[in-house]
């Protein structure tokens, strides 16, 4: 009986340490947990991260497109707090003491500039993201699509605007050259409103940005890209099949 019990406990321990089948063993992951200027968080499933909300030192929520996960230990462990939904979840917005999942993403442009705005609240939470309930969309801020130039900055995921008014935007580098404004592009990092370029340690497909209460930047996207699809090579991610999500968090507040 003891032999059977010990054997079961050993199998349980091994299963807890095993990475999902479509994600490489953590010991061989090319995305490090920390860089000189960044911390990273990684999704617990093989899905890219569409949006992020919270504070690395307290609670962080991520959406993998149709589900929401929560961590209170800097991403070492995750709890699925909103299981797979039939409607997409592009991000999470806080209004006073309530959190809302946002089921729409609106792309807006004016001249040469563009922005991406979260719209249409779908679920809400009153306990820091532990439990969720359907939202009836009564608040215009969370129900209506805002017009360009009159967007509450809490709804912006690209660019984001700091408390000093500086803007940080996902950098889109078009593959057809520096003068191209359309076509295929890569996202090596972010650019600032004063023209400064900040590249991430590895190349990712970036989805959204977030600023926490300390003005630290969160950059959400896919796994690192290894096969870039150029000159006949197949496109591929470095550590997963479907692009297991990664969030970069700046170690210092943005100016």
Q: What is the pLDDT of residues 200-240, one digit of tens each?
A: 999 999 999 999 999 999 999 999 999 887 666 788 999 99
Q: What is the pLDDT of residue 174?
A: 79
Q: What is the pLDDT of residues 90-132, one digit of tens each?
A: 999 999 999 999 999 999 988 778 899 999 999 999 999 999 9
Are 71 and 64 a contacting pair, CB within 8 Å? no
Reply yes or no on whether the pLDDT at 29 is more than 50: yes
Q: What is the pLDDT of residue 85?
A: 86
At residue 193, the 3 state secondary structure works out as coil
Higher pLDDT, 145 or 250: 250
Q: What is the pLDDT of residue 11?
A: 37
Q: What is the pLDDT of residues 34-49, one digit of tens each?
A: 999 999 999 999 999 9
Chain length of the chain: 255
Reply yes or no on whether the pLDDT at 70 is more than 90: yes
Domain ranges of the chain: 23-86+153-250
The backbone region for 229, taken as left when phi is positive above 0, alpha when psi lies in -120 to 50, beta otherwise, is left
- CA distances, 254 to each of 52, 145, 162 (Å): 17, 28, 7
Reply yes or no on whether the pLDDT at 16 is more than 80: no
Q: How confident is the model at residue 4 (pLDDT cuts 50, 70, 90)?
A: very low
Q: How confident is the model at residue 179 (pLDDT cuts 50, 70, 90)?
A: low
For residue 29 the two structure tokens come to: 């992951």
Q: How confident is the model at residue 1 (pLDDT cuts 50, 70, 90)?
A: very low
Vertex 173, ends 36 and 175: CA angle to 5°?
130
Q: What is the pLDDT of residue 19?
A: 62
Q: Which of 3-17, 152-166, 221-235 shows the lowest mean pLDDT across its residues?
A: 3-17
Its pTM stands at: 0.89
Q: What is the CA radius of gyration of the chain?
A: 19
Q: Which of 8-22, 164-178, 216-230 shows the lowest mean pLDDT across its residues?
A: 8-22
């Amino acid at each position: 009986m003891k032999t059977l019990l010990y054997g079961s406990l050993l199998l349980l321990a091994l299963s807890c340490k095993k990475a999902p089948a479509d994600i490489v063993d953590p010991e061989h992951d090319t995305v490090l947990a920390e860089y000189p200027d960044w911390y990273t968080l990684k999704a617990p499933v093989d899905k890219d991260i569409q949006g992020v909300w919270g504070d690395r030192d307290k609670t962080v929520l991520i959406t993998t497109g149709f589900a929401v996960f929560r961590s209170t230990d800097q991403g070492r462990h995750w709890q699925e707090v909103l299981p797979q939904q039939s409607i997409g979840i592009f991000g999470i917005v806080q209004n006073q003491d309530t959190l809302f999942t946002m089921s729409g993403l609106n792309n807006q442009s004016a001249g040469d500039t563009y922005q991406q705005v979260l719209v249409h609240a779908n679920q809400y939470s009153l306990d820091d993201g532990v439990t969720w309930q359907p939202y009836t969309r009564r608040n215009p801020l969370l129900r209506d699509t805002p017009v360009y130039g009159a967007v509450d900055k809490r709804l912006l995921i690209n660019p984001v605007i700091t408390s000093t008014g500086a803007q940080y935007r996902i950098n889109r580098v078009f593959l057809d050259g520096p003068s191209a404004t359309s076509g295929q592009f890569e996202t090596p990092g972010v650019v600032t409103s004063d023209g400064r370029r900040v590249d991430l340690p590895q190349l990712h497909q970036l989805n959204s940005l977030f600023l926490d209460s300390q003005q630290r930047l969160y950059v959400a996207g896919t796994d690192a890209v290894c096969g870039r699809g150029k000159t006949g090579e197949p496109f591929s991610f470095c550590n997963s099949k479907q692009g297991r999500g990664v969030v970069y968090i700046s170690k210092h507040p943005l100016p």
